[in-house]
Structure 1
Amino acid sequence: MSFFKKIMVLMFVLLLPVIFLYSYSYQTSVQVIQNEIEDSSIRQLNFFLSQVENTAAQLALHSITLSNESGEYGVREISQLDQISSYVARIKTRKTIEEKLLLFSSSSSWRNNISVYSPISNIALSTYPVIEYKLPELQEQLITKWIFEPKDNRSTEDRFSWYTTDPPSARNDLSTANLVVETSFSTDNLRNMLDDFMTNRKGNPFFYRNGFEPIMNRKGNPEHITELVRYFQDHQPVISGSHDQVMISGKPYMVSSVPSNALGWTLIDFVPLDEVLSPMYKSRNLFFSVIIVLIILGTAISFVLYRNVQMPIRELINNVQKLKRGDYSARLSNQPKNEFHFLFSRFNEMAAEIQELIEKVYAEKLRSREATLKQLQSQINPHFFYNCLFFIVSMSRLGENQAVEAMATNLGDYYRYTTRVEKQSSTLKEELGLVNNYLTIQQLRQQINYDIQIPPEMLDLPIPRLLLQPLVENAIIHGLEPLVGEGRITIYMEMSVSSINIVVEDNGVGMTDIQLKELRRTCSQPLTEEMGCGVWNVHQRLIYMYGDESGLLLDHSELGGVKAVLSMRRDVAVHV
């Protein structure tokens, strides 16, 4: 991993824990605030509902008090009102009862109405502003409890009513009751209290009961309440003390509810979470804005480090790799105006010195190779020279002057070619002339036939001197001399896309697989005093001149002897 990548990873490693810890802290804070808002909302709803139920309980108590009142001009006198003989006394009693009903009604802060009805006398008195009061049809389960009644001919407003019978046992049969007392209050009282409840709050409270229109406040958003009511048609309101989050108009709202056992309705309030949590949202946005700024600054700093540190290091590494691959001309062209300037300058000086030293060593190596080639050439010539001298001496003693002349002529041509050591390269044509002289000399000594098949266009091919003669000499000495009968040597050329091969084959006694394997191994080993130097010299000179992919290849010949192949890289051979 590069230095720049490490810096980037380190920056993110430092930022990630901060982001994680803040996110955890933010979620915890939001959860605490939500819980506090939920608890506060429940407490406020419970307090508000207790006020509503206490006021309603006072009104219900009026009904019970009136149903139990007795004595002169008491409410119970309504059952005997038709039995009073005096008209004046009857009117006075009636007016007294009505005033008492108004007194009880005005004692409450709510606008309400109280009515009394006597099934015995069939007389009804009420504070309702109507000409004639009629008692509605009641069922047993609707007595002594608050019931919701929509507006009708008795009242133009929706209301809650409470009915009390005297005696209480008459609730099963109203015809046996002495008195029925009705207390009712308008839903406007609840709306007024909801409006006051909203004065210092962000909620939108209302009373809800399935199957009825909600009792809404006048300051909130009725559209949101309507949408929430539609939501409750498919989902029951949350139970008391719990909460739910509902999406209204695409925004989250926290919904709280408290059921009223007295009224039979549920007080529901919903608060927009975005407004309540807006300070937390601002803090969150500010934090992430700071994080983004830090990331941008960190990226900018990383880019500066990348440009002033990473790029010079990368350029330095690339040039070191060039030196490793053998390109000693590598130089650092960019010269930064910082600490790398000194390093780059010293690197260029070091590379220049290394290149100079390598060139000197290479020149010394070339001179060493040239000296080695001359030494190898001098090793080859005496070996052949001694054999020829012995032949001349032998023929001279026998009086074979023609053979001596032929030997001397070919030997002279041979040494005229081999003694020119100032020139280390030759052509294939000249090398073949030398081989022809050598084979002619050998024909004077024994029965040998030879065949040279080289394309004329390849005769000008440049090759090192004295490559073919040692192979021909080995073929004669080790292959043909032990052979009984006529010997044969064939020289021809094979070419491929990558190499040029000159093949020397003989029909001599040949070699076993083990001998061939040992000879191949010997050619690749350093020269020792125990081994012959002819074949080894040829192989090593080919490697010197044409590289490791060239060399001397040895194998069995189809003629019966050994097949020696001089393999030279084609791209190098044509430029030697």
Structure 2
Amino acid sequence: MIKRVNMKRFIYFFIFFLLLTIGLFFVMNTMGSRTIQESMINSSKNQLAYVDSIVDGIISEASMYGIQYTTDNSVRFYQNRILELSNYDAQMKKNDIYNRISDPLLSSQSVESIGIYWKSEGTFITTGSDPLAKLPFEKVSNRGWQTYNNSLYYFSIYPYINQPKNPADVQYIVGVKLKTEYLTSLLERAVSGGSSNAFFLVNKSLLISNKKVDSRIEEKTKETITPVTQEILKFDYHTEDDDYYVLSKYIQPIDTYLVTYTRMSDFMNPLHRNQQVFLGSILVILVIGLIVILMFYRNFYRNVYLLGKKFYQVEQGNYSTRISENPVNEFYNLFKSFNHMVVKIQTLFASLKTETELRRNAEVKQLQAQINPHFLYNNLFFIMSMAKASPDAVMQMSKHLAEYYRYLTKLDSHDATLASELQLADHYLSIMSLSKNINYEINLPPELGEHRIMPLMIQPIVENAIQHGIEEHQGAHRVSIDVKTLDSGALIIIADDGKGLTPDEIWQLMIRIGNETPPEGTRGIGLWNIHQRLKNAYGELSGLRFFTNDWGGLSVLAYIDFSLDEGGQNALIDR
């Protein structure tokens, strides 16, 4: 393929790439403009929703004050008590009510005044200073939000629960007046700078704003908005000079629309100028790039050809090949990565070879265990000696011996699980407990039983504990296998109360099983084999560890990491 590439084809490709780049630029330009517009709209919606939440809080606060003082006992019984009190006491009672309705205003930013009007007596108490503040109260006949003289009021009437149908039955009215200045100050939080404006449109008639509102947009808004309480509505408005997007949110309790509009040109014109500059820069860069590519052409394809040649050698099985050239360009890191990859491949095959050898050793040891004459003879003699004295013991021995050898003879790496390996150890310990005074315990959490592990990892350790621990220490008789969940794997601890080892002996044992070559003779070969298989399959942390337990014997610890499937796969390579 590389030989067929000539300069003419390369230039054709570059021209095609140039045209494709320019086309993609225009596509990306359009998508970028659309993305910015959507981002601006989403930002405006977030600001609008934020102000809407504040207004909801103001509405709740005003409604709470209205309900609170409508149901207040001092207000409810004021008319009845005032007739029984002297002028001084009556005035003090009135002052007390005034103080009660004045207290919330000390901490409220949105409430301008609170007033109470007793309709039958014409008595009026208010926290405001407006001499005409009573006028809106005199016209109230229903509970709810109302507008008067460009101000918003919340009125609550008594009786409160069953609102009277006849206005003459209203005893008193509690009114909460909102600060118009505070509402207009909220509009600053609903806009995105000087190109945006916002206003409240109450009952589609009263306009509340802190800036001059474009009359054309105001009229268009009145024609377009609808009382949808759950959504922020959007529509576009176009003039000869500018484009706007308008957002509106209907606030149902006060029958008010919160409206914002933003002029798009203020945001898009700088973007268009930047895009024009960017397009010119791309064209200049592409022209310069064409010159550089022509200069780079010969060196580039020479290195590509060399890399292809080396990959072909690796494909043919030559894993010792290396790239010795060190070009002062981007190919230096590529060649370095190629050499590193080949080294890793060699290391992997070496590890694979080691694991294969370990597996073969394990299979040889497995076959030896299958035909171990001493183990088989001892158990057969036990069956013969107990045939008449204890048929139950003979049946148990025969059952466990059969299950033990059936597992060994039909063992397959695909079928080896933590539960099956512990079952094999259970059969072995049951056999040994029938012929020797041995007590054992196996603890396995149910959720770990079905996890796959490499075969013959546990039983050889148990056999070693009996032969070199319990049988060499008088009175020793206990063996335990404890499996615990740890991180993403299982921690296996095999303990006995046998002879045990001194710290120096444990240190020497760790050195023997840690060597790359197996120890001389037969002693320790089983532990070395298991230790090496664990490390190759599940990492360095999974090797065997030894320590003295509370019984005075030896405990052997092994960690199986179930997240490393490589271990399980390596166990199947040479099957």
Same fold (TM over 0.5): no
In the superposition, the TM-score normalised over structure 2's length comes to: 0.43
> What TM-score does the superposition give when structure 1 sets the normalisation length?
0.43
